[in-house]
Each structure stands twice: as C-alpha cells, then as structure tokens.
C-alpha cells in the first residue's frame, strides 16, 4: 500500500489527490469492467471526469488566484520595486522578492489558522506576505529577508491554502468537507466569493455602427497597469476623426497620422486603404482636412494636438511636448512609445481607421459586442491584483514619506534604519484587502474605479447553491437598461456558458453560469510568442513598408499588429502543430479572419475556452487504446493534451473550426469532435434528468429552484455555525441520476427525496399546482428538515476597564430557576439540548452602566453597576439549543455563538418542486388510508394534479417517472443525462418484464370507497425537492401590537410584528363600495386614532381643553382624527401654513 | 531606386527567396557602405569573438527554418538546387533604408536610386537624414522657394533606424549565398524642416510685432530655492526624453559614396572563406529555447 502511494507520488504528473474522483476511474465502475469492450463513441465521456479531476469545478478561481500569488505579485513588485528618497539621493530601498505564506528560510508553508476555525472565530483566513528587501543604511547596503508587509486573504484550496492537495482524512481532521469546492475567501468569519465579472475585452478594436445616425466608430479600451483609457476613431459627416477623453476636440485622422510621422498623403492612403479603390474613395476626403488646417509637418500636427490636450500636469510642458506626450502615451495607451519612432502607433490608428472605412463601405463589417469571443472574464485573482497594486503603491508612498521625514532631520543621533518604519504601514495592506473583500467595494485610485457589489456571501443554502455561486458570472451591464442584446442567448455561448442557468426577472441573461467543461485562461507571456511568429515566417511589422501592408495577411498578437504573413493557412497550421506538441502553452489561441485578412493570436487572460478532441483525416485522434489507458490510470487528462489528442479552443478559434457533435458525424473536413454534448449545461442545470425533453424555460426555472432546495450542504454541516442553515433530515440520492450529478457529487450531498407520485386529481385541494401529501409519509420522515439559526454576542471591553459579563440564572423562592431562565445553565448560557420558548433567555448578558465614564485609576475597587441585556428568544415555535460556542475573536474580545435548532415537518403551504421547474405548495395532508393504492398496496407520497402537464410540456418529468419506476423494479439507478441517458424504450421493456404497463400507468383503487378508479393513473417515483420557503417562516397575523413612534401607526413587516396594510387599491375599493364605517375603522380606529382638542373659533389645535392661540377654553371641541393628520397639521404650521379646521355638525340637532 | 519591398518574398521557393533578397540588397548595400567606410558604425565593437558566436547561433536559426519548411513541403516542392550559406561580416554595420514614398517601379523599370547630396546621422538616437537635390528645371518655383521658403533646393528624408531580429542582407556569388547581418533599418520619409523653420521665424516675428501685453509689463521676479519635494521638477521620461536627446544631439555629417558594392562584396567573401558554420543546437532545442 505504501509502495503504491509512493509510486503515485513519483508519477510525473501531479495528480490532484481526490478520492471523490478516483471512483470514476476505478476498473469496475457503473457496471463496466476492464474487460468490457471500449467503444470510443460512447466512452469518450470518461475524458470529462478526467478533466474535472485535473481542473475541478472551480479551477478557474483557483488558477486565477494561484497565478496572482505566484506570478502577478512578483510582477507588481518588480514594477514598483524602488523606493527613493527625495532628501537623500544615496538612499534607496529595493524589493527583491515577494512570497505569500512561506518564509525563504523554511521549506514548508507557514502554519495558518485552519479555515474552519476562522469561520467559527470570525477571523480572516489569511497568510503573511513576505518581501525580501535591500536598502541602504548610512553607507552600507543591507539585505533583509522575510519582512512581513501585511496579510493576504487566502482562497480556500488554492496552492497557498493548507487544504491544498489535502486528502479526505486530512480534510476531516481540519473539520472541512472534502466535497467543498473551495475558491472563496473567509473574511471576518464569513465566506465571501468574488464573482466572475464579465467585461468587454481590453486592448481590442470594436467596430460599431449606428445606422440611424450614420455613425461608424471603432473604439479600443486600453488598459495597462498605470492607466485605463478609451480611444475612438469615429465618423462625423462622412469624415473620420480621432476622439479621446483627454483631448478636447476630435482630431482629423490625417492630422493624427501626420503627428505620428506619416507625412505623405500617399502613405496615409496606403496604410488605411491599401490598393482598394472603393476604400480610397471613401477615405480621400479626410486628406483634405489636414491641408485645410495648413498642417504639413509632424511638428505642426503635434502642436495642433498639443494645443487641444486637457491634462492636469504638474510639470509645465510646451505645446509640442504636450503633443508628443499625447501621441506617445495618452492615445491608445496600451502601446506606449518610448523612443522616437511612432510607427507602431501610426499603424494601430491606421488599422482602426481601416476598420471604420471597411464598415462604412460594407455595414456588415462591424463587431458584435455580445459575442462571447469579444468578452473577457475577470476573476478573483485579477481583481485582487488590481487592489493589491493600489494598496502596495499607497504603502510605498506612505513608507517613503516617513523615510523622508526622518532623513530630512539634519543631525540624527544614529544612522537611520528604514526597516524600523516599514511595519507601521503594514496594517494598510491587510485592512485594505479585508475591507474590500468583506464589503465588496472595489475602489482603485489609479483608475478612478468605484465598483460595488464585487463580492457576495457564499450561499450555503444547499451544496448546489454554493456550487452554483462559484460558477456564476455577473455582467457589468446595468440591469435597468432596456436592451435585449446583452440578455439574449448567444450562439457563441455553446459549450462555454450554460444555456439554461440564468435568473428570471431583472438580471435575466445578464447573470450567466459557466458550463461544465470550461476553462478561463490566465495571462501568458507575449514576447516568446512574438519571436516564434517571426521564426515561422512572419515579417516584422516595423520593416514592412506601407505600400505592401495590405497585400498580405496581418498577424495580430492580442489585438496589436506585429507583422504580416503571405501564407496564413500554413502559418496557422504550423502554429497549431507547435501548440499540440506542447511547445506553446495550450491556452494560446490562433485563428484567421478572412474578412479582415488577419491572423489573430491571443495570449491574454480571461478568455473562455474548452477542450475538444482533435480530428485529423476524418478520424478522431482519441482511440479506444487511449481510453483504455485512461481507465487504467496510465494516462490523465494532461497527457491527452500533450499527446495532441485533445486541445483547448477559445470562442474565436472555435469559430475557425468544424466541430462534430458525435463520432458518427465525422467527415474528412472536420477538425474537432465534442467530448460530450451534455457539457453545454452547467453544474446546476446538470441536475435535471432528461432536460432535452423539457420546454426550455422549465429548465431555467429548475436552475433557480435547485438552489433553494433543502438538503445536505456539506459533510461538516453539523460542525458549522452559520447565520441560517436549512438541512434535510433524510436526504436521498435521486433514482434518476445524470452523469453531471455524479461528477459534482450531488449524489453524496443530495437535496431531495424520491417520492412516489400519482398524477391524478384528488379532493379539491390540488388546484393551481397544489400537492396532496400523504400523512404517513410525513410521519416516516418525508420532507422533514431542520433549521439552525445562529446568535452571536460579543462581550465588549470598554475604555474604563469595565466589561460585559454573563450573569447566572435567577431562581424563585423554591430554588427553581424563573421561567425566563429555564433553559439557562449555571454559567448563564443556554444548556445544549434545552428547549427555548418565545420570551425565554438563552444568553444572560449584562453590560456595565458606566462604560462611557473615564477610567478611574484611583479606586479600582469601585463596584461596577450592571444593566441586564439578555438575548431573548422570539418565535412562533420553540427551538432547541444545538451548540454553544465561546471563543476569542481577532481583537481579544470574548465571542459567544449559540446555535438554535428547529425540526420541521412539512405542513400546509410548504413549497415543493420536482426537478423540472414544477413547483407547488402542499394543499392538503391526507391520511394514508384515504389515499389511493395500487395492486401491490403502494400508496403515493404525493398526488400531483395532471393539469400541471399540458401547458408546461415537461416531458422530461414523465420520462423521469418511467425511468425511476423501471429502476425501482430493476434495482438500478437510471440515468437521465442530457442528450443521452437511459432510453425510454429500454425502460418500458423493464416495466413490461416486471408486469407493469409500458407507459408507467397503474390501476389504482380509491382509498375511500375501495373501488377501482375509472382511469389508469400515471404512477411512479419522482425526485422531489423541498424548497426553503416554509409557512412557519412566513405566517403572520396581528390583533394589536407595536406602533411606530413617529406616526403611531402599526409597524411594518413580519419581523417587527407589523400590521397588515390596507393599501391604496383596497382603500379605493372600499370607497367605491361606500362602506364608510369600514373605511373609518380600518384607516383610523384600528390604526392611529388620536383625540385632539380643536378650537372652533380659530380652527387650530390646543391641548388639555385649552386653546393656546385664543387663550381660552371656551370653544374647545374634542374630536378623533388620525395621528398622521395631526402630524401633518403641525408640520404645516412649522412651515408657516396654518391649516384651520372649520367644524360643523352633519346631523343637525 | 526602390528598396520598398525588399523584405518581401516575391517567389514561392525558398531558393528564390534568398536570391531575390540578394538582388535587392545589392543596390542597397551601395548606400550602406558609406556609413561603414566613413567609420560611422554605430554598433560599437562587440568583440569579434562574441559576434561570431551570435552569428553562428543565428545561422542555426536559418537552417532550422528551412528544414522545417522542407519537411512539410517535401512532396510537392522538390529541392531544385542547394546553395552553401555563409554568414559574414564583423563590423560592417549595415543600415538599410526604405524609401517609403518612392515607387518601386517607374513604368516597368525599377526606379533608380536618387543622388544624395548630404547624409547626416545621430548615432545615439539612430536618426538618419539625407538630402536629395531637387530638380530645379521642372516643377520648381524658384521665386517662391526663395521668397517663402528660404531657398530650399533639397528634399530631406528622415527616418529612425529600428532594430530588427535576425534580418540579413545577402548576395549570391559563385553559387554561394553570403549573409551579412543588418544593424538597423530606417524608413525614410519626407521631412519638411523648412516649413517648421519658416513657421518659427514667423511666430517670433509676430511676437515681436504685436507684443503680448503681459510680457511687456514689468514683473517682480522672486527667487526661491526649489524644494526637494517639489514634484514639478520631474525629469522627462519616455518619448519626451528621447525627443529631447535627439534634439540636443549633434549631427554627424557623412559623405555619400557610390559604387563601393563590389569592394564590399569582396571583403565579405574574403571574410567568409575558410569558416564553416556549425549548428549549435538542434531544431527542437531551438524551438524549446524560443518559447
């Protein structure tokens, strides 16, 4: 055994050890033995578990974070490595290296407080950031290693996390669930996810046209570490201009090109239009613009631009210099010119112009903003990297200021050691990171970026909801805007983003989810790729002359023209060959675009890509021998990549390929083969059995409801103390599974139960999707769940050395604790297992009355007075105390957490749903003996009304029932995988063999009369989920109760024991009906009736039978008005408006 | 003449490609020689030993490139003839000029190289300027030139020498290909200095004639010591700095020498004699090192 593990470790590939996936690769799996025949067409799906074993479900988050801590941090350090003093030119401090969570001296990682302890103790799961520095002290240069400059929150299961590579037993030891995907942070005890953000790609040209206004524009959002800006090339009255935020006016394009040193009109024309005469005709008019302005030389053009630049510069520059600066750094900021030659920039602007001209000539030559290939996904790593760089710059700045402050002093007693002041500012980085992650407010000074709602609390409602949150993508689009484009389902989403999983309502289509087999790239180095291109025959663009620029295909690396190539197809083929042989990173994409005569190579991060099987010569490269080796564990997914059998394609390259869905469809011209078609769905939509038989919105509904289903959330669920947790008491794995269910381990942490359903009408309590539940099923535990609610109390310490305390229990005369204190133990905290009822106390806390006083050092012995501030339980139903935890939080204050548990049986009004978007509430609970039964005496758990089917068209649900029934009879779990699964024909066969009707219908007998029912009833097991919406949490009534202070009207909302509002529309009905006394009762007497003293003479209000205005009690009349009306009169008075009441008797006496 | 398109392969075959290049380079070398002969080599002395090494490495690159293409194209593209390759040149310091706005062909005949009356070079900024005398007989308004443009009679071309990666000039002699590394390549574009000059003088005159009222007023000049913390005295960076350096750098006046190509060829051939090129690494290693 030991040898075996060793061997595995020495295996060249780093297997992520995860027993969960090993199952899938075992020799005997799902009835398939090693000796079984391997059929590539059907068994190639084994690549999927192999992919997930290597990549995991939240690999994109982990990859991105790992990239940040390992690579990006070093880049940031390098870019900001020097701190120089303005005072002492000799002084410098240089950052040499940076590490997270590991000292240079030790070979192992630092010990971190385990994540679960952080959750319980409201701490941040973080690791120290160490830097190696080199600095001068006096005349000496000093190296210092492992200086801590702050703490970095660590993403769970990333390579800096202590759970990295942990096996199941280690996870258990650390109180972690081995199935927990990780990918989130723990900040101040709460689990925070940085959602994937979707953005338009940076540094790429996007051409758009507004046909109504006749405007064509090409824009590029340049983004570098220092700045972000957007440059436009736009048309205006048929002429082309360059627009940029920091240039006051639009600049004629010819002037810009002249400023870049392209002086001759001929060359401008060559760069923009090439030999194409139709383009030349469109563009020619622009050449006049510059001669109209009398601009012939570069200097003139630069001065023209320089005069229009609006920048806040501390340094005074001449107009010419402003112009140079604008062209060199401001316009198209991601190409910064360091030297004299602006050609690169000129080419880029000329290309933008060319794209505009092309779109003017042919309006179809525009880009689609919503095309997934034009999008980039921003992940946790990138977002934290932005934040960290900002904080690090600030840190360095503060550090420099404090160094300068000391160095400025003319005569210092001793040599100044800069190290001493480094620790002063380290809290800035720590707290900056913590604050941003815990509030979700990303504010970056550099980019003037203020983004709110970047992070979210990880939803732990169910395992699926947590998993669904990790794959979620949020868009930057405004939710309120009424545009359909960004919300629509894009064909390019195929296989990349889930087609079903999107919320309903305002965020519909804007919030998306990743599909099962997606990977998001991280940044790759550009330079080696550039060199490779030149070796493969690309002509360097700086050497290509303008006249021949457009004769050949341009080669674009990350959107920038780097050269041209005569034989693009051959070049692309060779490049791909290098990628398939592993010479080039597998995530670099290359594709050609014949419309633009361009070969595009992308190495940037945030592209969505997915693996596909390579097809060559009309044959899949993955053969059964490979799959055999995969199943034997001799190959893993990365080997498939290295062997050139499988490759990653991003959306753009996918568009350049011809992909077969199934192996039987492969024809010679095809280039790729899908690994598994069901991977077009994501993790959440993968739960649905037979989704390909459902009407599409039903699948979307289920995706929303699957996240609300109560079930098991994690193996450590009973060790967790969460604000609110719903757990199902007896969860079952579904009878009809999908491959996705197994891959994401939903069968290990299920949320639902297999209910026997009869589709028939029963009583009248099943209208509008209401369900009839079997009382005995409920007794047996169907739909039973528990809620666990946390209360946190901190025992505060105050400035005057007083402190909150926990008091003991109070007893009555007989020595028994008083009723309120019944559940308390002698320590003043609720005893575990005790029942607490509404009004009882479970934390008997007292706070000092003099906490605000100044500390009194003289008489320490003064007895502190305490005021009781107990935590009282309020709720319609009693709870039990499940856990009590007492600990110390980060800031050394005592922390008490009490977990209250409630067990709940299903009751009328509780919400249930099947996995097909068919939700319903419990309408009636019927005794088992009154329910129908079949020949074998089986009684349904649920009766569902057949009216739920015709309009919903959820055929998948029916097939689920038949497959489930066949599975029950056969003793197997059946599959309802999308585009596959157990065949209906086979299922019917099993049913017939077992003596059932092929269609799943049974003969049922009435439980009331015993007669056989008139029709055959569709009868069998369907997996039902109990949703979190339960009557107990919602039911609410009030006769009298609390009122708001200001208006004296009843409070609002269930949590405040509020009243039930008779709203405007209801009021209108009552008025229309003429029920004036009802109106009076509802709106005044039951609400805020108030007796006022009105003076009949002046019409103003007095009090106590006295009119203050008239100084008399003579004409005072008592009457009742709403308190709100009285308030209105008084407010009007305060605004110098006197509302006077004129009183009359309606009924003359 | 036109060296417009010289970096482009005009024929499909590899052999022709070298040939073609060589042909075009032939003429350009004339130009480059001057720089060399006048000792303006801007690549200051890499030790010959080191240079040698580098060249051999590059050599292997070339060989690799060919091999690869051969491999792929072998079937439909048989080898017609093989040429020995030589890499040569120690301190030739070849500069290639591209005349961006001159046509490659006039009619069907290749355009001739213009007569150069003066050449200037700024070695730090790699800035070339060459003067081509204008034909004063035709399309030349002498009066206007003298009255408005201070008697300009040359067309000035200006260009920045750009570094390249692995570009070679080549020629064929005795069925052998000789490659000489190119130091920098400059695209020469018209530069209307006389317009800027005239503009400047005009502006200055304008300023003198209508003096700005603010500049006329007597001002109290206060002197203060610049604070070390004053951020306004930032040094220029990036392109601004490069421009400043270029402006301040003095021109090197060069003489343009014609007809030195044959002599150049001979030196290169002589140099290459007796040297065998050995590939330093295999194709795979090369690709591995590359990416």
Least CB–CB distance from B7: residue in A336, A531, A539 = A539
Burial bucket for residue A689 (CB in 10 Å: 0-12, 13-18, 19+)? buried
In DSSP terms, B184 is beta-bridged to B95, B163
> Side-chain half-sphere of B220: how many Cα atoms within 13 Å?
2
A943 and A766 in contact (C-beta within 8 Å)? yes
> Scanning every residue of chain A, which has its alpha carbon at the shortest distance from the alpha carbon of B99?
A545
A463 and A751 in contact (C-beta within 8 Å)? yes
Least CB–CB distance from B195: residue in A264, A296, A314 = A296
Distance between CA atoms of residues A308 and B264, nearest Å: 51
Q: Which residues of A touch B192 (CB under 8 A)?
A: 263, 296-297
Say what the pLDDT of residue A734 is. Answer: 95
Q: What is the pLDDT of residues A372-385, one digit of tens each?
A: 888 999 888 989 99
B59 band by pLDDT with thresholds 50, 70 and 90: very low
Residues 6+ positions from B290 with CB-CB distance below 8 Å: A528, A531, A532, A535
Q: What is the pLDDT of residues A455-471, one digit of tens each?
A: 999 999 889 999 999 99
Question: Count of CB atoms within 10 A of residue A862's CB?
Answer: 10
Mean pLDDT over A128-137 rounds to 87
Say what the pLDDT of residue B53 is. Answer: 33
Q: Which residues of A touch B5 (CB under 8 A)?
A: 545, 547-548
Mean pLDDT over B112-124 rounds to 84
Question: Count of CB atoms within 10 A of residue A445's CB?
Answer: 10
In DSSP terms, B87 is beta-bridged to B179
Q: Closest Cα of chain B to A86: distance in Å? A: 6
A751 or A43, which is more confident: A751
Residue A53's SS3 state is: helix
Contact B242 A546 (CB under 8 A): no
In DSSP terms, A1103 is beta-bridged to A1106
Q: Which CA distances in Å does A852 have to A337, A798, A1149? A: 62, 8, 64
Name which of A340, A200, A320, A338 is nearest A260 in CA terms: A340
Region label for A314, one of left (φ > 0), alpha (ψ between -120 and 50) or beta (otherwise): alpha
Mean pLDDT over A1038-1046 rounds to 91
A701 band by pLDDT with thresholds 50, 70 and 90: very high
The reported pTM is 0.83
**Catalytic pick among A769, A827, A890, A1033:** A769
Question: Would you list the DSSP string of A467-519?
Answer: HHHHTEEEESS-SSS--SGGGSPPGGGTTTB-SS---SGGGTTTSEEBBTT-E
Name which of A238, A236, A255 is nearest A247 in CA terms: A255
Least confident piece of the model among A1104-1113, B257-266, B269-278: B269-278
Q: Closest Cα of chain A to B123: distance in Å? A: 13
Q: Which residues of B touch A300 (CB under 8 A)?
A: 195-196, 199
Least CB–CB distance from A321: residue in B61, B240, B288 = B240
Residue ranges of alpha helices (H) inside A40-131 are 40-43, 47-55, 59-67, 73-79, 115-120
A1031 or A15, which is more confident: A1031
Residue A1010 in this model has a pLDDT that exceeds 70: yes
Residue B67 in this model has a pLDDT that exceeds 70: no
A858 band by pLDDT with thresholds 50, 70 and 90: low
Residue A767 in this model has a pLDDT that exceeds 50: yes
Say what the pLDDT of residue B54 is. Answer: 34
Least CB–CB distance from A542: residue in B162, B229, B243 = B162
Residue A527 in this model has a pLDDT that exceeds 70: yes
Mean pLDDT over B190-219 rounds to 77
A101 and A128 in contact (C-beta within 8 Å)? yes
Is-catalytic flag, A769?
yes
ipTM score here? 0.74
Least confident piece of the model among A617-626, A697-706, A815-824: A617-626
Q: What is the pLDDT of residues A634-669, one digit of tens each?
A: 888 888 888 888 899 999 999 889 999 988 888 889
B216 or B134, which is more confident: B134
Say what the pLDDT of residue B17 is. Answer: 33
Tokens of A1056: 């405040």
Mean pLDDT over A57-76 rounds to 89
Q: In degrees rounded to 5, what are phi and psi of residue A468?
A: -60, -35
Contact A328 B239 (CB under 8 A): yes
> Scanning every residue of chain A, which has its alpha carbon at the shortest distance from the alpha carbon of B195?
A297
Residue A542 in this model has a pLDDT that exceeds 60: yes
Residue A480 in this model has a pLDDT that exceeds 70: no
Region label for B165, one of left (φ > 0), alpha (ψ between -120 and 50) or beta (otherwise): beta
Give, in degrees to the nearest 5, the angle at Cα B256 between B255 and B259: 135
> Scanning every residue of chain B, which has its alpha carbon at the shortest distance from the alpha carbon of A268?
B101
Least confident piece of the model among A879-883, A972-976, A999-1003, B228-232: B228-232
Say what the pLDDT of residue B64 is. Answer: 36
Mutate to test the interface with B, among A543, A576, A584 (most CBs of B within 10 A): A543
Contact A314 B189 (CB under 8 A): no
Q: State which H helix or E strand residue A270 sits in.
A: helix A265-273
A959 band by pLDDT with thresholds 50, 70 and 90: very high
> Side-chain half-sphere of A793: how many Cα atoms within 13 Å?
23
Q: What is the pLDDT of residues A412-459, one digit of tens each?
A: 666 667 777 777 777 888 999 999 999 988 888 777 778 888 899 999
Say what the pLDDT of residue A884 is. Answer: 93
Q: Closest Cα of chain A to B105: distance in Å? A: 12
Q: Which residues of B touch A552 (CB under 8 A)?
A: 8
Residue B48 in this model has a pLDDT that exceeds 70: no
Contact A328 B125 (CB under 8 A): no
Mean pLDDT over A357-370 rounds to 89
A1083 band by pLDDT with thresholds 50, 70 and 90: very high
Say what the pLDDT of residue B6 is. Answer: 33
Share of chain A above pLDDT 90, in %: 41
Least confident piece of the model among A145-154, A310-319, A437-446, B187-196: A310-319
Mean pLDDT over B15-43 rounds to 35
Q: Which residues of A touch B191 (CB under 8 A)?
A: 263, 297-298
Residues 6+ positions from A147 with CB-CB distance below 8 Å: A130, A131, A132, A133, A419, A422
B14 band by pLDDT with thresholds 50, 70 and 90: very low
Residue A730 in this model has a pLDDT that exceeds 90: yes
A942 band by pLDDT with thresholds 50, 70 and 90: very high
Residue B90 in this model has a pLDDT that exceeds 90: no
């Amino acid at each position: 055994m030991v040898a075996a593990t060793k061997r595995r470790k020495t295996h060249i590939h780093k297997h992520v050890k995860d027993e969960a996936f090993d199952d899938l690769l075992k020799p005997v799996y799902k009835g398939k033995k090693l000796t079984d025949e391997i059929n590539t067409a059907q068994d190639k799906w084994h690549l999927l578990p192999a992919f997930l074993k290597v990549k995991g479900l939240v690999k994109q988050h982990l990859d991105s974070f790992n990239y940040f801590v390992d690579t990006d941090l070093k880049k940031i350090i390098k870019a900001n490595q020097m701190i120089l003093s303005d005072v002492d030119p000799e002084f410098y401090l240089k950052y040499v290296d940076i590490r997270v969570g590991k000292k240079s001296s030790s070979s192992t990682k630092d010990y971190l407080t385990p994540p679960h302890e952080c959750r319980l103790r409201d701490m941040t799961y973080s690791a120290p950031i160490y830097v190696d520095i080199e600095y001068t002290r006096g005349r000496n240069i000093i190296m210092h290693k492992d200086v801590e400059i702050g703490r970095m929150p660590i993403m769970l299961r990333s390579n800096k996390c202590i759970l990295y590579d942990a096996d199941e037993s280690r996870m258990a030891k650390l109180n972690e669930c081995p199935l927990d995907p990780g990918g989130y942070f723990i900040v101040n005890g709460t689990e925070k996810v940085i959602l994937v953000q979707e953005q338009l790609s940076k540094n790429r040209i996007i051409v758009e046209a507004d046909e109504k206004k006749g405007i064509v524009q090409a824009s590029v959002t340049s983004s570098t570490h220092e700045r972000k800006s957007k440059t436009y090339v736009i048309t205006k009255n048929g002429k082309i201009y360059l627009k940029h935020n920091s240039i006051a006016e639009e600049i004629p394009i010819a002037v810009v090109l002249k400023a870049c040193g392209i002086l001759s009109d001929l060359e401008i024309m060559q760069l923009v239009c090439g030999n194409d005469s139709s383009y030349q005709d469109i563009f020619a008019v622009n050449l006049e613009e510059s001669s109209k302005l009398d601009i012939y030389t570069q200097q003139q053009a630069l001065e023209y631009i320089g005069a229009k630049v609006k920048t806040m510069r501390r340094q005074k520059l001449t107009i010419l210099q402003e112009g140079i600066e604008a062209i060199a750094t401001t316009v198209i900021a991601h190409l910064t010119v360091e030297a004299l030659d602006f050609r690169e920039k000129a080419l880029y602007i000329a290309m933008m112009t060319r794209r505009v001209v092309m779109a003017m000539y042919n309006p179809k030559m525009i880009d689609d903003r919503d095309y997934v290939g034009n999008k980039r996904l921003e992940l946790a790593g990138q977002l934290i990297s932005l934040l960290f760089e900002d904080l690090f710059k600030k840190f360095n700045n503060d550090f420099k200021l404090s160094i300068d402050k000391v160095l400025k002093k003319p005569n210092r007693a001793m040599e100044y050691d800069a190290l001493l002041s480094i620790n002063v500012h380290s809290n800035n980085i720590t707290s900056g990171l913590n604050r941003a992650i815990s509030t979700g407010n990303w504010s970056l000074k550099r980019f003037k970026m203020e983004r709110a709602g970047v992070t979210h609390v990880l939803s732990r409602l169910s395992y699926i909801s947590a998993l669904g949150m990790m794959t979620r993508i949020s868009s930057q689009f405004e939710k309120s805007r009424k545009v359909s484009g960004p919300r629509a389902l894009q064909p390019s989403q195929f296989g990349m983003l889930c087609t079903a999983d999107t919320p309903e309502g305002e965020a519909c289509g804007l919030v998306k989810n990743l599909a099962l087999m997606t990977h998001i790239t991280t940044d790759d180095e550009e330079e080696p790729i550039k060199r490779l291109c030149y070796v493969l025959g690309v002509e360097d663009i700086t050497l290509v002359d303008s006249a021949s620029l457009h004769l050949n295909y341009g080669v674009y690396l990350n959107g920038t023209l780097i050269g041209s190539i005569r034989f693009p197809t051959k070049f692309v083929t060779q490049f791909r060959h290098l990628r398939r042989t592993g010479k080039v990173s597998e995530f670099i994409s290359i594709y050609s675009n014949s419309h633009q005569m361009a070969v595009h190579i992308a190495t940037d991060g945030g592209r969505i890509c997915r693996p596909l099987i390579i097809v060559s010569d009309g044959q899949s490269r993955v053969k059964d021998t490979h799959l055999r080796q995969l199943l034997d564990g001799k190959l893993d997914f990365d080997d498939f990549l290295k062997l050139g059998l499988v490759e990653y394609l991003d959306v753009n390259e996918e568009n350049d390929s011809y992909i077969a869905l199934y192996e039987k469809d492969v024809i010679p011209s095809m280039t790729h083969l899908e690994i598994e078609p069901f991977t077009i769905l994501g993790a959440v939509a993968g739960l649905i059995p037979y989704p390909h038989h459902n009407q599409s919105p039903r699948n979307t509904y289920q995706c929303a409801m699957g996240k609300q289903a109560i079930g098991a959330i994690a193996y450590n669920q009973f060790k967790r103390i969460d604000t609110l947790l719903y757990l199902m008491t007896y969860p079952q794995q579904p009878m009809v599974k999908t491959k996705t269910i197994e891959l994401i381990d939903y069968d290990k942490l299920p949320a639902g139960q297999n209910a026997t359903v009869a589709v028939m009408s029963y009583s009248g309590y099943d209208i509008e999707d209401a369900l009839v539940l079997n009382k005995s099923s409920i007794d047996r535990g169907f739909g039973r769940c528990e809620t666990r609610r946390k209360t946190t109390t901190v025992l505060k310490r105050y400035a005057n050395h007083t402190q909150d305390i926990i008091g003991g229990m109070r007893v009555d005369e007989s020595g028994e604790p008083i009723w309120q204190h019944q559940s308390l133990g002698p320590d003043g905290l609720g005893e575990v297992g005790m029942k607490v009822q509404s009004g009882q106390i479970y934390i008997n806390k007292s706070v000092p009355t003099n906490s605000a006083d100044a500390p009194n050092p003289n008489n320490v012995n003064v007895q502190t007075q305490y005021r009781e501030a107990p935590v009282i339980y309020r709720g319609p139903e009693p709870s039990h105390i499940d856990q009590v935890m007492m600990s110390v939080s980060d800031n050394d204050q005592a922390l008490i957490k009490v977990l209250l548990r409630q067990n709940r049986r299903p009751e009328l009004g509780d919400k249930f749903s099947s996995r097909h978007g068919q939700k319903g509430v419990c309408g009636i609970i019927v005794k088992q003996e009154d329910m129908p039964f079949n020949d074998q005496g089986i009684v349904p758990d649920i009766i569902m009304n057949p009216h739920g089917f015709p309009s919903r068209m959820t055929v998948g649900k029916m097939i689920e029932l038949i497959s489930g029934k066949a599975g029950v009879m056969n003793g197997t779990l059946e599959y309802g995988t999308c585009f596959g699964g157990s065949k209906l024909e086979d299922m019917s066969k099993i049913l017939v063999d077992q003596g059932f009707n092929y269609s799943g219908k049974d003969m049922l007998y009435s439980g009331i009369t015993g007669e056989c029912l008139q029709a055959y009833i569709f009868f069998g097991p369907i997996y039902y989920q109990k949703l979190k919406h339960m009557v107990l949490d919602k039911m609410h009534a009030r006769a009298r109760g609390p009122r708001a202070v200001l208006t004296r009207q009843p409070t609002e909302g269930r949590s405040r024991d509020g009243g039930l509002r008779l709203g405007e529309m209801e009021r209108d009905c009552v008025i229309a009906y003429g029920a004036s006394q009802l109106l009076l009762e509802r709106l005044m007497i039951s609400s805020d009736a108030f007796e006022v003293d009105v003076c009949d003479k002046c019409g103003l209000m007095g009090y106590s039978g006295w009119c203050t205005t008239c100084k008399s009690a003579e004409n005072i009349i008592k009457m009742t008005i709403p308190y709100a009306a009285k308030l209105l009169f008084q407010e009007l008075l305060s605004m110098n408006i006197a509302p006077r009441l004129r009183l009359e008797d309606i009924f003359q006496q | 003449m036109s060296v417009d398109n010289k970096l482009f392969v005009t024929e499909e075959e590899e052999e022709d490609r070298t040939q073609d290049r060589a042909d075009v380079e032939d003429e350009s070398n004339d130009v480059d020689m001057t720089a060399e002969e006048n000792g303006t080599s801007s690549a200051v002395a890499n030790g010959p030993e080191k240079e040698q090494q580098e060249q051999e490495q590059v050599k292997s690159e070339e060989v690799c490139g060919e091999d690869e293409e051969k491999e792929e194209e072998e079937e439909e593209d048989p080898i017609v003839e093989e040429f020995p390759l030589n890499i040569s040149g120690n301190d030739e310091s070849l500069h290639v000029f591209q005349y961006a706005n001159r046509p490659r062909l006039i009619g069907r005949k290749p355009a001739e190289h213009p007569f150069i009356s003066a050449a200037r070079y700024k070695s730090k900024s790699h800035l070339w300027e060459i003067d081509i005398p204008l034909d004063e007989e035709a399309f030349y308004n002498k009066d206007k030139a003298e009255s408005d443009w201070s008697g300009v009679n040359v067309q000035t071309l200006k260009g920045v020498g750009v570094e390249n990666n692995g570009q070679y000039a080549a020629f064929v002699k005795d069925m052998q290909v000789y490659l000489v590394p190119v130091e920098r390549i400059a695209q020469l574009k018209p530069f209307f200095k006389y317009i800027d000059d005239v503009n400047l003088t005009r502006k200055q005159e304008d300023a003198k004639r209508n003096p700005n009222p603010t500049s006329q007023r007597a001002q109290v000049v206060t002197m203060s010591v610049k604070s070390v913390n004053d951020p306004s005295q930032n040094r220029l960076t990036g392109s601004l700095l490069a421009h400043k350096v270029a402006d301040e750098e003095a021109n090197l006046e060069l003489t343009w020498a014609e007809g030195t190509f044959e002599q150049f060829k001979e030196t290169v051939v002589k140099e290459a004699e007796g040297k065998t090129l050995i590939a330093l690494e295999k194709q795979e290693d090369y690709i591995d090192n590359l990416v």
